[in-house]
Amino acid sequence: MEFTLSTSDDKIKHRLLRRQLRRIFGSEIEPEGYWSTLLQAVSDAYHDADNERQLLENALEVSAMELTETNKKLRLIIDAAPAGIVMLDREMRYLFANRRWLQDHRLNIQDIVGKSHYEASPTMPARWKEALQRCLAGATESCEEDAIVQPDGSVEWVRWEARPWYAADGVAGGVILIAEDITERKRAEEQLRIAAVAFQSRDGMLVTDARGTILQVNQAFTQVTGYSAEEAIGRTAALLHSGRQDVTFYRTMWEAITREGHWEGEIWNRRKDGGIYPEWLSISGIRDAVGRITHYLGTFSSISDPKEAERKILELAFYDSLTSLPNRHLLLDRLQQALAASARSGQFGAVLLLDLDHFKTVNDTRGHAVGDELLIEVACRLSGTLRETDSTARLGGDEFVVLVEGLHTEQAVAATIAETIAEKLRLAIGQPIPLQGGARHITPSIGITLFRGQDKGADTLLKQADIALYQAKDAGRNTIRFYNAAMQAVVDMRVEMEAGLRRALAEGELLLHYQPQVDANGGMIGAEALLRWQPPGQAMVSPAVFIPVAEDSGLIVPIGSWVLDTACHQLAIWAKSPATRNLVLSVNISAGQFRQPDFIDEVKSALQHSGAHPAHLKLELTESLLLEDVEKVIRTMMALRNLGIGFAIDDFGTGYSSLAYLKRLPLDQLKIDQSFVRDIAIDADDRAIVTAIISLAGSLGLEVIAEGVETVAQRDFLAAHGCQAYQGYLYGKPGPADQIDQQIRSGSAPHACLF
């Protein structure tokens, strides 16, 4: 009989048959061939079975397949669980173990098949066995952290839970055990505990995030800085900045941290109470797995013993960092003590205020490093010249103060001693100072005020010394002056004058007068422009009075600029008339004006705006101007010379012109100072000087003009010695421009007064 299965029911039946056969015969039986008859018989038997049962069996089969699928999924999930899971029967034999369990216990599936949990874990502690037994009795056992000592002595940690599982009959079939290896977590916690203990060290510590925001500080941090954790957290470390390190310092520090992950060094920080203190700071960047800095750890310890730190702080507060001399703070303190001592002893003391002449030029021309070198040397010379009991302090810049006590009970004697001390200091500083790039000669101006008792406060004494110093500067520098009440009046007047000058400039109270300059025959060859200030309703103010104020206040720059414009304008007017078109106008230029970086442009613009001819403009410079930074002076002069402008040295003979560089300057004229001319008739020295200047000018190929010529005798002497040009009251006093015009036009040329 042919065995065929044609319907889907038949296919199911066939599968069921094969299973029955397998059950009966214990192995797979092929339904075809020999067995086909038997199969057919069985098949028939099934055929006879009730349809309902068959359908039920079909459904069961499908459910079984579905169940297998679900089982597979569950198995996957259980295998992937981060904890080890085992199912044990009542005898603690393994029914199931997930992959994690096998991994954690370093077991293969073969190692546990048919074995009991006790056999697989021979070192299992008794308490666990007891717990498993309690589970069989229905308890659920667990432990959050359990240490397992490994055979090699190391400790591993687990978190476990054991609970019974129940068979269909409701009896506990065994135990399900879930165990999680928490060794790594325990190690990390341990590290954290160690770090936490270390964090509470005696050194101040702070942790910031990558942006520098403080996340954590320790107790020592609070003790040192005064900021509690609550006050510091959330702020940045800039909270501690003392301002003693500049931007470059911090930039270099952060560059090192970013580059090397670490920086350490000395730093000054500020406490909450404002006090600053030195510390040794170490900063480390903490990186994440990909190497990005996520946090910074800062540790700071005091630099040395607290006494040393305190000494440093005191030094900073009371001593000048450049020269190590006491600063203003300490000086005032000592001055107070000196006043009290003087009140007790009845002896005079003195405050000497020193300022270096033209120190700014050293800084400008030789650089600040050389300037500093010079200040240090001056400080040494001051200290070296004085007695141990005298105090020297640096107020800042190039200003020094010397405090001498116990001079004398007589004011006049005390003043003499103070003057002697000042003179010694002046000479000591005046010696050439060896510096990088060559020795330098510098002189001081010194203001002195005396004190006895406590009538005047320390501040008042310093102000008085300052006024005396001002006078010393005014008297030509490298000079000593004492304070007296009259000086105060002068100072007050200066302040008033400065305000007045500003107004004068703004409101057109300035004007130029012109004084004729004549040749050997008395013919007018030019004039000198001389500045005048005419305040409304008041007497005209002499430039000898207000020019020094303008120079000190810097007003000389705008004033000088106005003079140049006005003088050039006058030249342009003269150029229009044949009588005056050849006149050369001399204009006085102050050092401060000449050194302006845009001086050349200023002169050019004055010429351009007025249309004046450069060859008719002569600039009068003083010898002191020529002394500073000769090379730069020559460059400026050459640039102007190339435009056609001439140069004269004013007041020649009163300064310290060196022949060596006089030769190098593009000069046209030397102007003999009127102080030599004045006494020509009576002073043999002046005669000698004048003759020397005339012959010097001759040998240098320069013209020579004498100023302040008032008498015929003076003129004759000068003429006899070769002077070719003159200026002075003999030829005309300075006056408005139209006075020159009149003199020239009326034919009453200045020389007319001569003959």
Q: How far is Cα 536 from Cα 507, in angstroms, rounded to an integer?
A: 10
By CB under 5 A, tell whether 588 contacts Mg ion. Answer: yes
Query: What is the distance between the alpha carbons of residues 63 and 208, in angstroms, rounded to a whole number?
Result: 61
Q: Decide: is 564 part of the binding site for ligand C2E (CB under 6 A).
A: no
Which of 547, 662 has the CB closer to Mg ion?
Answer: 547
Work out what residue 278 binds among Mg ion, ligand C2E, none; the CB cut-off runs from 5 to 8 Å by kind: none
What residues from 654 to 713 belong to the interface with Mg ion (CB under 5 A)?
Answer: 707
Residue 20's binding partner among ligand C2E, Mg ion, none (Cβ under 5 to 8 angstroms by kind) is: none
Q: Which of 591, 484, 509, 507 is nearest to 548 (CA)?
A: 591
Position among 1, 168, 197, 544 found at the interface with ligand C2E (CB under 6 A): 544
- For residue 109 the two structure tokens come to 């599936």
Per CB under 6 A, does 17 bind ligand C2E?
A: no
708 is in the binding site of which of ligand C2E, Mg ion, none (Cβ under 5 to 8 A by kind)? ligand C2E
Cα-flanking dihedrals φ and ψ of residue 142, to 5°?
A: -155, 160
The DSSP secondary structure of 340-371, one letter per residue, reads: HHHHHH--EEEEEEEEETTHHHHHHHH-HHHH
Beta carbon of residue 734, minimum distance to ligand C2E (angstroms, whole number): 5
Helix (H) or strand (E) holding 263: strand 262-270
Residue from 298, 371, 516, 728 binding ligand C2E (CB under 6 A) = 728
SS (H, E, C) 468-509: HHHHHHHCCCCCEEECCHHHHHHHHHHHHHHHHHHHHHHHCC
List Cβ neighbours of 371 (8 Å cut-off, separation of 6 or more). 359, 362, 363
DSSP sequence for 187-228: HHHHHHHHHHHHHTSSSEEEEEETT-BEEEE-HHHHHHH---
Q: What are phi and psi of 280, to 5 degrees?
A: -100, 115
Indicate the residue among 651 and 703 with the shorter CB distance to ligand C2E: 651
Q: Could you tell me which residues come within 8 angstroms of residue 205 by beta carbon, excluding any fewer than 6 positions away?
A: 199, 217, 218, 220, 221, 297, 298, 299, 300
By the rule CB under 5 A, 651 interacts with Mg ion: yes
CB of 571: closest distance to ligand C2E in angstroms? 14
Smallest gap from residue 648 Cβ to ligand C2E (A)? 10
Stretch that binds Mg ion, among 38-46, 545-553, 617-625, 681-689 (CB under 5 A): 617-625
Residue 279 interacting partner from Mg ion, ligand C2E, none (CB closer than 5 to 8 Å by kind) = none
Residue among 588, 657, 691, 724 that touches ligand C2E (CB under 6 A): 588
728 touches, from ligand C2E, Mg ion, none (C-beta below 5 to 8 Å by class) = ligand C2E
CB of 730 to ligand C2E, least distance (A): 7
For tokens 């405050």, what's the residue? 351
361 binding partner (options ligand C2E, Mg ion, none; Cβ < 5 to 8 Å by kind): none
Pick from 590, 657, 669, 743 the residue near ligand C2E by CB under 6 A: 590
Within positions 659 to 678, which residues make up the interface with ligand C2E, using CB under 6 A?
674
Closest contact distance (angstroms) between CB of 651 and Mg ion is 4
Query: Which C-beta is closer to Mg ion: that of 500 or that of 732?
Result: 732
Element (H, E) at 47: helix 36-48
The partner in contact with residue 543, picked from ligand C2E, Mg ion, none with C-beta cut-offs of 5 to 8 angstroms by kind, is ligand C2E
**Among positions 373, 620, 623, 703, the unique one binding Mg ion when judged by CB under 5 A:** 620
- Interface size with Mg ion, residues (CB under 5 A): 5
By CB under 6 A, how many residues form the interface with ligand C2E? 25
The partner residues of 172 in beta bridges, in order of sequence, read: 166
Kindly list the distances between the CA atom of residue 436 and the CA atoms of 371, 373, 440, 564, 597, in Å, as whole numbers in the listed order. Answer: 10, 8, 9, 39, 26
Closer to ligand C2E by Cβ: residue 148 or 530: 530
Q: Using CB under 6 A, pick the residue from 729, 736, 742, 752 that binds ligand C2E.
A: 729
Residue 524 near which of Mg ion, ligand C2E, none (CB within 5-8 Å, type-dependent)? none
Contact indicator for 89, 176 with CB cutoff of 8 Å: no
**Hey, what are 82's tokens?**
């981060």
Q: 465 or 529, CB closer to Mg ion?
A: 529
Stretch that binds Mg ion, among 304-312, 406-414, 582-590, 608-616 (CB under 5 A): 582-590
**357 touches, from Mg ion, ligand C2E, none (C-beta below 5 to 8 Å by class):** none
Q: Which does 547 bind (CB under 5 to 8 A by kind): Mg ion, ligand C2E, none?
A: ligand C2E
The yes or no reply on residue 535 touching ligand C2E (CB under 6 A) is no
Does 558 bind ligand C2E (CB under 6 A)? Our answer is no
Which one of residues 164, 298, 734, 750 is an interface residue with ligand C2E (CB under 6 A)?
734
Per-residue DSSP letter, 433: B
Minimum CB separation of residue 590 from ligand C2E in Å reads 4
Instruction: Return the range that interacts with Mg ion (CB under 5 A); candidates 140-148, 271-279, 452-460, 616-624.
Output: 616-624
**Locus of tokens 């007319």:** 752
Between CA 604 and CA 618 the distance in angstroms is 13
* Least distance in angstroms from the C-beta of 323 to ligand C2E: 36
Nearest distance, CB of residue 563 and ligand C2E, angstroms: 4
586 Cβ contact list (under 8 Å, min separation 6)? 517, 526, 527, 528, 529, 618, 619, 620, 648
Shortest CA distance to 533 belongs to which of 567, 574, 498, 557? 498
How far apart are alpha carbons 352 and 468 in whole angstroms? 9
Q: Return the residue matching tokens 């597979």.
A: 72
Does 690 bind ligand C2E (CB under 6 A)? Our answer is no
Binding residues among 123-142 for ligand C2E as defined by CB under 6 A: none
Residue 604: CB minimum distance to ligand C2E, A: 19
For residue 163, list its beta bridge partners. 176
Query: DSSP per residue over 562-630, as a string?
Result: HHHHHHHHHHHHHHTSTTTTT-EEEEE--HHHHTSTTHHHHHHHHHHHHT--GGGEEEEEEHHHHHS-H
Instruction: From 24-32, 298-306, 577-585, 650-658, give the range in contact with Mg ion by CB under 5 A.
Output: 650-658
Taking the least distance from each CB to ligand C2E, the nearer of 17 and 530 is 530
Identify what 748 binds: ligand C2E, Mg ion, none; CB under 5 to 8 Å per kind: none
Six-digit token string for 93: 């034999």
Among 710, 719, 735, 753, binds ligand C2E (CB under 6 A): 710
Binding residue for ligand C2E, selected from 338, 401, 501, 547, defined by CB under 6 A: 547
Q: How many CB atoms lie within 10 A of CB 91?
A: 10
Hunting for tokens 């310093």 — which residue is that?
A: 462
> What's the N-to-C CA distance of the chain in angstroms?
175
Closer to ligand C2E by Cβ: residue 458 or 524:
524
Residue whose pair of structure tokens reads 């008859």 in the numeric block: 37
- From CA 110, how far away is CA 123, in angstroms rounded? 20
> Between residues 405 and 650, which has the closer beta carbon with respect to Mg ion?
650
Residue list 149-168, contact with Mg ion (CB under 5 A): none
Burial class of residue 118 in the structure, from the number of CB atoms within 10 Å of its CB (0-12 exposed, 13-18 middle, 19+ buried) = middle
Question: Does residue 651 interact with ligand C2E by CB under 6 A?
Answer: yes
Q: Is 623 in the site for Mg ion (CB under 5 A)?
A: no
Residues 513-532 that bind ligand C2E (CB under 6 A): 515, 529-531
Rounded Cα–Cα distance for residues 344 and 324 (Å): 30
Q: Which does 542 bind (CB under 5 to 8 A by kind): Mg ion, ligand C2E, none?
A: ligand C2E
**Does 646 participate in binding ligand C2E (rule CB under 6 A)?**
no
Contacts to ligand C2E by CB under 6 A: 515, 529-531, 542-544, 547, 560, 563, 588-590, 620, 650-651, 674, 707-710, 727-729, 734
Contacts to Mg ion by CB under 5 A: 588, 620, 650-651, 707
